[in-house]
Amino acid sequence: MSHNKTLFSIGLSAAALIGTLTLSHGQAQAATTGTTTYEGGATTVWSSPAFSTPTRYLTHGQQVNIIDSKTVNGTTWFEVGQNEWVPSIYMQSANETTATSTAAPANTATAVGSVKVNYTAGSTTVWTGVDSGKAAAYLAPGETAQYSETSTGNGYTWYHITSGWVPSKYVSVVGANTQPTTQQTQTAQPAQQQQAQPTVQQQAAQPSQQQNTQQQTNTYSANTQQNSTASTNTVSSASATVKVTFYDPASLGSNMGYNGVAANLAKYPKGTRLKITLADGTVLHRVVNDTGTFVSSNPNQIDLAWPNSSVPSYGVTTASVSVE
């Protein structure tokens, strides 16, 4: 009897141990869900945790059960079936997704837009999280992907695309409805500086603008458009005081008559109507129709067409001149 009890006890202990081992094994093999993240085509399922023999293929976004995982040569592999393995660079587990969504990154801002890979020396790595150090997928040079939010990490703006996170070091924004808050902060400063620079330039340009105004007031160009501008500016400005001399066009063999005035054409182009008030109060209305040796080199002198027989005795005087 004692012998039978002993055997019975051993049997119960063995059964309990087997049950415990079975339960532990089941817990270790509890499956989680994995989702393929590669957007460039099908994801290969390999017969072992190595890029050796393919067994089947998964489509982008397809979900499978992950029953185990191991790391080989720095790459994490997910076991999705018997002799079926997928590298983590092409698949994201539900556990990682939960961890990524639970750990809210600092400075996260909602955004909608697209980024384009500007790195051309090879593929650009998409990471499982901001500066996570764990690859999730790869993007080809020039490839475009949509992003839903941004964050900052390691000095870069990170864009959350379908397959993971990619830093601004290797991509650039090509379209967005609302720019990320972090990006606005970083890019707004250069923009503000650029806006501030014209203000400085405008301040520095004030003397130049004043000079231009004075030149427009006192100087005329032969160009018709400039004539119009110069005339407008002169009309609105105070009249200029000039030196007045007289000359007889007839004595020079000209038939222009005595209704004109010779002037510096750079200041008063031909055809300009002038109101001339002589020093003795005489008011004349003349049209510039000529120039001369003296006035051509002196913008502050005019020669009035006048018969030699009636030239005033003083010969030279001054006048206040304004454009009519």
| Reduced 3-state DSSP string for 108-125 | CEEEEEEEEECCCCCCEE
Give bridge partners of residue 79 from the DSSP assignment: 68, 85
pTM value? Answer: 0.29
201-225 pLDDT per residue, tens:
444 444 444 444 444 444 444 444 4
Of 102, 104, 103, 97, the residue nearest 36 (C-alpha)? 97
* Cα–Cα dist 14/307, whole Å: 144
pLDDT at res. 238:
61
Report the distance separating Cα 5 and Cα 31, nearest Å: 41
| pLDDT tens digits along 91-134 | 998 877 555 444 444 444 455 789 999 998 888 888 888 888 78
pLDDT (tens digit, 9 = 90+) per residue, 35-92? Answer: 998 887 889 999 999 888 999 999 999 999 999 999 887 688 999 999 999 998 889 9
Top-confidence range, 156-165, 196-205, 226-235: 156-165
Asked whether the predicted pLDDT for residue 174 surpasses 70, the reply is yes
Mean pLDDT on 261-269: 89
Cα–Cα distance, 170 to 164 (Å, whole number): 14
The whole-number average pLDDT for the span 149-155 is: 89
C-alpha atoms less than 13 angstroms from C-alpha of 149 in its C-beta half-sphere: 13
